[in-house]
Amino acid sequence: MKKGNSLKAVVLTALLTVLVSCAGSPGMKIGNTVTICCPGDYATYQSYGIEAVTLPLFLRDYAVAQFDTAFQEKGLARNDQRSELIVNLAYRHVNLNPDQQTIDPFIRMESMNVELDYIAAIDITIRERSGGKVVWGGTVSRLHSVQPGEYMHQGAATAAFLETFRDVLTEYPATAE
């Protein structure tokens, strides 16, 4: 397969994933999907820690805070030092325009006068601290069209993240008390 066809296939797959995720969540601005479900012994998990090393700085604090709220509603307590589970929140983006593959939407030069179209995604992987067995995974994502001069808006995104994290964790079983 040629490099161009491979890239088109990746972009099309990513776009379809976002569209399918959004179709299942009417009115939500952030799509989500569960990617790994249920091989864990959820009744025994009481605590978790978070790794968010690949989230952009402007996104890290409020995305982690909203995930914390949604996950704590499942009965778990956060303890980054000693926990049964480690939650990894990893950011990635897919530029939808092949000519923009090398442009980082967060490090744009002011002289760059081009609209960027990309999918921003946060992959969520939950694994056991001891042994590293993955017990759950999901992705939240949003399609972006960013005009030159626009900046990242956090106000509306905070509530949307909380609602989306709650939605993606719907089937994650609550901790037994």
Q: Is the pLDDT of residue 12 over 90?
A: no
Regarding pTM above 0.75, the answer is no
CATH architecture label of 3-168: 2-Layer Sandwich (3.30)
Average pLDDT score, the chain? 76
pLDDT at residue 24, as a whole number: 39
Give the bridge partners for 77, in sequence order. Answer: 47
* Per-residue pLDDT tens digits for 37-58: 876 677 789 999 999 988 988 7
pLDDT at residue 166 is higher than 80 = yes
Longest dimension (CA), the chain: 57
| Residue 175 confidence (pLDDT) | 82
Could you identify the residue written with the tokens 């900046």? 151
**Could you state, in order of their start, the residue ranges of all structural domains in the chain?**
3-168
H-type alpha helices, the chain: 3-23, 57-72, 155-168
pLDDT tens-place string over residues 74-128: 999 999 999 999 999 999 887 777 776 666 666 655 546 677 777 889 999 999 9
How many whole angstroms separate alpha carbon 63 and alpha carbon 157? 9
